[in-house]
Amino acid sequence: MNLHRPHEECGVFGIYNHAEASNLTYLGLYALQHRGQESCGIVSSDGTTLHAHKRMGLVADVFGNQEVFKKLPGKSAIGHVRYSTAGASVEKNVQPIMVDYSRGSIAVAHNGNLVNAQLLKAELEAYGSIFQTTMDTEIIIHLLAIARTNSLEDRIVEALKRIQGAYCLLFLTESRMIAVRDPNGFRPLCLGQLGDSSWVVASESCALDLIEAKFVREIEPGEMIVCNSDGSLKSMFPFKKIAPTPCIFEFVYFARPDSYIFGKNVYLVRKELGRQLAREFKVEADVVIAVPDSGVPAAMGYAEESGIPFELGLIRNHYVGRTFIEPAQAIRHFGVKIKLNPVREILEGKRVVVIDDSIVRGTTSRKIVKMVRQAGAKEVHMRISSPPTSYPCYYGIDTPNRKELISSSHTIEEICRYITADSLGYLSEEGLLKSVGVNKTNFCKACFAGDYPVAFPKPVELPQMGLFEEEHK
């Protein structure tokens, strides 16, 4: 079921030195399911051999049979949930990638996107490399295999110095687990501890909470952490230090509200987004409702700041899968109605403020506004808790081509008319930064402003370029 929202590429989870490593990795992936629903996988190590189980589908389906975990023995494991941004949605692209090469076995799980993947792949193929997947992650494996240095840490560093873009990586060998976050720190990655001797790495802290691991700290941009067989933890910063540019959209939409990322609790930030939105775009209204689930904290903040009551005017069906069969008889707005249903008793005869986190193509917002009107709303005022999304992301978020982003070619007034709202207000970029409130952090805001912190190599074809490529030739 796609409501035309952006999708994160994936989430990663790893645990080192625990008797129930694969079971805990399953739980960690379950907590990270919001970061990717296409496929998932786990690779475990028993100290001498790596074992893998990965499939298309949701975590509960792929690992729903307890017999699966008998095939994943060992005290260390890494896992991955995926929504494809680089590479097709097919079985061969399910992560973690596991390979055998001259120095042993290794598995890799990757969250992010490499902007120089095409150039590197062409170079590697020219020297005889044969690729089994269409993912940019496999390029890291090939670079690792041809690295000339001796230690695993040095080979990883040598490989990663060749790549450009976003990456949170987990490597697993027979005896070690290694975590790396790119110098820009685009995606979140945190370190936890379970008991006295088990280390945990996860994309978000909510995965630590589920297994009752202690949140130790966020892994820093440009940091590599090595979990050794003696239980020790080694931290190093092998890359050239730059000013980090974490993705601000993680706060707006992607991260779970109970997670702690980039120094802040996501729920509290989203409430403040709503408060700031109310300060910037006041309106006379009777009720504030949210487009669930990601719009709920912002709607609560908007209601608190404006003094307009908050109600659950749209109810979400949480049991809708990724696909469904449409009835032969036409039902207007069926794609939205199967997931969201308005509460007429809340909306009828009311002036309604609808809070959402973003507008992508505009088609879903249009259907929601019309659905709220059909439930009897007298006025519908749409408020968005982020600036207009006018540019695609190349750092691990699956956004459409720029020409499909409605705000790239339409004014706010035109968008308002298209979605048939009585008024439309987007949170300003200044209001967004003020609400996040992390001092001395230069967030990546490329999806709003088009200022990409990692340049694209030339020549390169990026599938989402669209209008951007034409305008910047």
Quickly list DSSP for 14-50. EEES-TTHHHHHHHHHHHTGGG--SEEEEEEE-SS-E
Whole-angstrom CA distances from 433 to 252, 277, 441 are 11, 12, 10
87: pLDDT strictly greater than 60: no
Report domain extents, the chain. Answer: 7-244, 268-318+332-441
Residue with tokens 């910037």: 280
DSSP code of 252? Answer: I
What whole-number distance in Å separates Cα of residue 236 and Cα of residue 252?
Answer: 31
Per cent of the chain over pLDDT 90 is 73
What whole-number distance in Å separates Cα of residue 393 and Cα of residue 382?
Answer: 24
140: pLDDT strictly greater than 60: yes
Strand 379-384 relative to strand 351-356, pairing: parallel
Structural contact between residues 79 and 40, judged by C-beta atoms closer than 8 angstroms: yes
pLDDT of residue 401: 77
pLDDT of residue 220: 98
Which pair of structure tokens corresponds to residue 22? 């694969």
**Mean pLDDT score, 12-18:** 98
pLDDT of residue 336: 78
6: pLDDT strictly greater than 60: no
Whole-angstrom CA distances from 149 to 144, 152, 224, 397 are 10, 8, 17, 33
**Mean pLDDT score, 407-434:** 96
3: pLDDT strictly greater than 50: no
What confidence category does residue 400 fall into, taking pLDDT thresholds of 50, 70 and 90?
Answer: low
**Mean pLDDT score, 78-92:** 75
Answer CATH for 7-244 from 3.40.50.970, 3.30.420.140, 3.60.21.10, 3.60.20.10 = 3.60.20.10
Structural contact between residues 255 and 265, judged by C-beta atoms closer than 8 angstroms: no
What is the value of pTM for the model shown?
Answer: 0.90
Q: Which secondary structure element, helix H or strand E, spans residue 174, and what is its range?
A: none
What whole-number distance in Å separates Cα of residue 270 and Cα of residue 145?
Answer: 43
| CB within 8 Å of 345: residues ≥ 6 apart | none
| Fold adopted by 268-318+332-441 | Rossmann fold (3.40.50)
Structural contact between residues 124 and 116, judged by C-beta atoms closer than 8 angstroms: no
- Mean pLDDT over each residue of the chain, to the nearest integer: 89
pLDDT of residue 466: 42
**Mean pLDDT score, 272-291:** 98
pLDDT of residue 1: 35
What confidence category does residue 471 fall into, taking pLDDT thresholds of 50, 70 and 90?
Answer: very low
Q: Which range, of 89-93, 381-385, 447-451, averages the lowest pLDDT?
A: 89-93
What confidence category does residue 415 fall into, taking pLDDT thresholds of 50, 70 and 90?
Answer: very high
Per cent of the chain over pLDDT 70 is 89
What whole-number distance in Å separates Cα of residue 168 and Cα of residue 192?
Answer: 16
Which pair of structure tokens corresponds to residue 292? 């669930």
What confidence category does residue 462 fall into, taking pLDDT thresholds of 50, 70 and 90?
Answer: low
pLDDT of residue 230: 81
Write out the catalytic residue numbers. Answer: 10
pLDDT of residue 103: 86
What whole-number distance in Å separates Cα of residue 251 and Cα of residue 255?
Answer: 6
Structural contact between residues 369 and 382, judged by C-beta atoms closer than 8 angstroms: yes
pLDDT of residue 472: 33
What confidence category does residue 7 fall into, taking pLDDT thresholds of 50, 70 and 90?
Answer: very low
443: pLDDT strictly greater than 90: yes
444: pLDDT strictly greater than 90: yes
Beta strand ranges found along 299-357 (DSSP E): 314-316, 340-342, 351-356
**Mean pLDDT score, 325-346:** 74
What whole-number distance in Å separates Cα of residue 464 and Cα of residue 394?
Answer: 8
2: pLDDT strictly greater than 50: no
Beta bridge partners of 342: 314
Q: Which secondary structure element, helix H or strand E, spans residue 275, and what is its range?
A: helix 266-280
Q: Which of 147, 65, 66, 69 is nearest to 106 (CA)?
A: 147
155: pLDDT strictly greater than 90: yes
pLDDT of residue 399: 66
Task: Give the three-state DSSP class for 388.
Answer: coil
Strand 7-8 relative to strand 340-342, pairing: unpaired
Q: Which amino acid is at 316?
A: R
**Mean pLDDT score, 150-157:** 94
What whole-number distance in Å separates Cα of residue 30 and Cα of residue 42?
Answer: 12
